[in-house]
Amino acid sequence: MLRVLSALLLSSALLSAIDYTERSTQELIASLHPGGKNIAVIMHELKKREPAMTPKEKRLYRKKVDELAHVEKK
């Protein structure tokens, strides 16, 4: 019984986990805002994508990072 319950909990946790690799770069950049959820995970995914970003995406990404850094300093 305990094994079944543990397996159910684990599978539900895995299914509810957000896969940020499936989201577009624009969606991830747009989801960066103060008080947002999973900012560290999103930042990690965006950092991996940075070399492949368009110049426009890079500008938006850096602007959002600056905004977050500014809010954290307050």
Domain boundaries, the chain: 19-73
- For tokens 């986990």, the residue is 17
Mark the ranges of the chain whose per-residue pLDDT is less than 50.
Answer: 5, 8, 11-16
What pLDDT sits at residue 4?
56
| pTM for this model (two decimals) | 0.69
- Write out the DSSP string of the chain: -HHHHHHHHHHHHHHHS--GGGS-HHHHHHT--TT-TTHHHHHHHHHHHGGG--HHHHHHHHHHHHHHHHHHH-
What pLDDT sits at residue 15?
43
What pLDDT sits at residue 28?
93
